[in-house]
A and B are shown apart, each in its own frame.
Chain A
């Protein structure tokens, strides 16, 4: 019996969320009196998972050239079935959510995404997960012999407990990808909504795309990703992949700053999982203030440049 953590890589380096899923896997194994290893595809820094208590990493050699979810699922399922794996832990990234259902079907496993805490009980495992677009939590029992747990972004946190870590190579060959990658377009050098610690988001209150330097300058000081409300992307002020909310990208970051966004229920549903929310809006009645931790009632055109300047000073000192 053992726990297996799938850690994602980008350009052969572990992604930031690897630390959180590894921490969860190690804690889960401790709770179940089990052991925990990680499986990584072409990670040059896989041993760093030792910081989070992972003592063994299965290093997949001969990884397919692009992230083909079926192939990844085949490889992980093959390893899991031959090594007594009963729980697989992965993140809530777009790739993990692509892979997990396929893996679940292959393993006949019970899969639960958006899990926010360690399970209660062990037979069956019962996990708390967010549902109804963050308007509620569900307590879900996992009824199959094998369980797949998708950990919500930033829901569990990173726990350091250094141990020495060894690599075991696992040969992946004989798999035929089901998709072929034709092209990939990706902004580089910029924080993405999924990965960033801080997201700065702008709404219709900013009046037009020509004013987005307000959002961008603030984001730059904070090393944040930029996002927007739905009408902003619908009107073409910003690109569609910045749209966050119930029908856009989910945001579960440490700090979410909303500027000129009213806080409609569909917007909140997608961003509520963020830890700390700051709202800047000139209407004291804006519904977002009810969901916020900190608020400034004021004109974004005056408040935001000031905030950006002061934050620059703050960052210079810290």
Chain B
């Protein structure tokens, strides 16, 4: 089985979000970038398939060399080969088009992306990719098994989960639950050494056309100070929620 894991490279969850150039650019100064947490769950499942069934696991990122350390980390965790499509992607549609063009030239049985990137929160790449390739897609994927070319997958839905069956090739949007958090891999010394020898290919881009453009950003207005209510006066809280906030 050949597996492609799509990796997005995002600011660490604790990052302060600021903008520069008149609020038109995200300020990356001092920001630590990490593998998108949803992709980490997907990568871990891919490596599980590699260890159990001998699957080949490739990772791919559409972007600039700034993400190379993130891809190296994926190799150190256990992926076999890394690709980077060399471009500054302008939106999710561009990324999906680049990935689709790449996937069409390779024979992947399974394409694993994350539910959403935690930076721009588009949640659009995996679904668009599946549609462009005209293959099945399971979003919010919290369980995946493959047996003789057929996948059974669990999808988290509002208030529960759904079990689905789909043929390969298949795209999934991975998230927490796909593997246990305790099973997430961190690179060890041996993995880091091995990663240096692993193939890493930079692929030219298709110059896909964007469909959207983020023209500026704004931070939420600072919240008014919290209204504190004495612990022995819950009646006051109820009164405020009813008359002032009008939510009960």
Contact = CB atoms under 8 A, between A and B. Distances in A.
A100 to B, nearest CB: 7
A296 B229 contact: yes
A65 interface: no
Contacts of A204: none
A230 to B, nearest CB: 9
Contact of B228 (A99, A248, A297): A297
A14 to B, nearest CB: 15
Interface stretch (A52-60, A167-175, A305-313): A305-313
Given A131-B120, A247-B176, A190 B127 contact: no
Interface stretch (B57-65, B68-76, B193-201, B217-225): B217-225
Contacts of A100: 124, 127
B164 A179 contact: yes
B160 A94 contact: no
Which of A108, A138, A182 counts the most B-chain CB atoms under 10 A from its CB?
A138
Contact of B163 (A73, A143, A184, A241): A184
Contact of A141 (B14, B19, B119, B212): B212
A181 B226 contact: no
Contact of B152 (A102, A178, A182, A234): A182
Interface stretch (B43-51, B78-86, B103-111, B235-243): B235-243
B116 to A, nearest CB: 8
B237 A307 contact: yes
A66 B162 CA distance: 10
Interface in A291-307: 291-299, 302-303, 306-307
How big is chain B's contact interface, by range?
A: 35 or more
Given A93-B158, A289-B226, A293-B227, A133 B121 contact: yes
Interface in B103-135: 118-128, 130-132, 135
A139 B218 contact: yes
Given A93-B158, A114-B121, A255-B248, A105 B17 contact: no
Given A104-B124, A276-B245, A140 B214 contact: yes
A237 interface: no
B177 A179 contact: no
A112 B175 CA distance: 21
Contact of A105 (B131, B163, B210, B213): B131
How big is chain A's contact interface, by range?
A: 35 or more
Contacts of A266: 13-14
B136 interface: yes
Nearest to B239: A314
B19 A307 contact: no
B87 interface: no
Nearest to A308: B234
B215 A113 contact: no
Q: Is the interface of A mostly helix, strand, loop or mixed?
A: mixed
B120 A132 contact: yes
A241 B156 contact: yes
Contacts of B132: 105
A106 B130 CA distance: 11
Interface string B156-183: 1111111111100000000111000100
A294 B217 contact: no
A158 interface: no
Contact of A180 (B126, B165, B215, B238): B165
A73 B131 contact: yes
CB-based closest 6 A-B pairs: A298-B231, A101-B127, A105-B131, A186-B160, A192-B159, A110-B211
Interface of B: 11, 13-14, 17, 19, 26, 37-38, 92-93, 96, 118-128, 130-132, 135-140, 142, 152, 155-166, 175-177, 181, 210-220, 223-224, 226-231, 234-235, 237-238, 240-242, 245, 247-248
Interface of A: 66, 69-70, 73, 93-95, 97-106, 108-114, 126, 128, 130-144, 178-187, 190, 192-195, 197-198, 222, 234, 240-241, 243, 246-248, 254-255, 265-266, 269, 272, 275-276, 278-279, 289-299, 302-303, 306-307, 310-311, 314, 318
12 contacts: A95-B157, A101-B127, A110-B212, A111-B212, A113-B123, A138-B120, A139-B218, A184-B161, A184-B163, A275-B247, A276-B247, A302-B231
